[in-house]
Chains A and B, each alone.
Chain A
Amino acid sequence: DTAVSQTPKYLVTQMGNDKSIKCEQNLGHDTMYWYKQDSKKFLKIMFSYNNKELIINETVPNRFSPKSPDKAHLNLHINSLELGDSAVYFCASSHGLAGVETQYFGPGTRLLVL
């Protein structure tokens, strides 16, 4: 059983399209995250949700909108895709927000915008 799963694993699309990436965790965690990893391997937090409430909302374009229908799911919708959105997107979860909490990562979604 996969603890944190993401779909799709690969996503190839044209500029201007709208796409969604889904994330589910079966660990019973309260907190979920989206990260972006660029071609230079920098990992940057985009959003975090705790009990479906937005906690961290880093400076990302408004075209990116997270949605948390329940504590086990955090989806990422991207409007009007641009070339620069090409990256690997990782979902993660943790028991809670505290600094001591460990994050568990999904396998990543590799997005390529043509």
Chain B
Amino acid sequence: DAKTTQPNSMESNEEEPVHLPCNHSTISGTDYIHWYRQLPSQGPEYVIHGLTSNVNNRMASLAIAEDRKSSTLILHRATLRDAAVYYCILRAPTLLIWGAGTKLIIKP
């Protein structure tokens, strides 16, 4: 069965880059990789997604390994507002596999 694996938690200093890893070794060729984050007491919100190539948007960058078995979410300059649980997801029309999430702690 497809699944994603993430570290339980990570710490980073404010205004430094953060690299959040995700392993998805059972990914299929048509599965997209999505990242969402969840702030306390809120619903998850979309961060970024990709299929094969690296992606950038205003929130983050997504680096996808050449074999697609892992990916890394990159926050270029973490702020206190980025403290959240970050989820890595495999997505296809009839598939939605969520990882357990990484709790990102930002130290001022």
CA distance A90 to B43 in the complex (A): 7
CA distance A35 to B103 in the complex (A): 19
- B49 adjacent to A107 (CB under 8 Å): no
- A99 adjacent to B91 (CB under 8 Å): yes
Known contacts: A42-B100, A100-B49. The answer to whether A105 contacts B44 by CB under 8 A is yes
CA distance A41 to B95 in the complex (A): 20
State which residues 53-106 of A face B: CB under 8 Å: 55-56, 90, 92, 97-106
Interface of chain B, main secondary structure: strand
- A105 adjacent to B45 (CB under 8 Å): yes
Give the A interface residue count (CB, 8 A): 25
Give the B interface residue count (CB, 8 A): 25
* Min C-beta distance of A54 to chain B, whole Å: 11
Nearest CB in chain A to that of B32: its residue? A99
> Closest 3 CB pairs between A and B?
A105-B43, A99-B32, A97-B93
CB within 8 Å of A: which residues of B? 30-32, 34, 36, 38, 41-46, 49, 51, 85, 87, 91-96, 98, 100-101
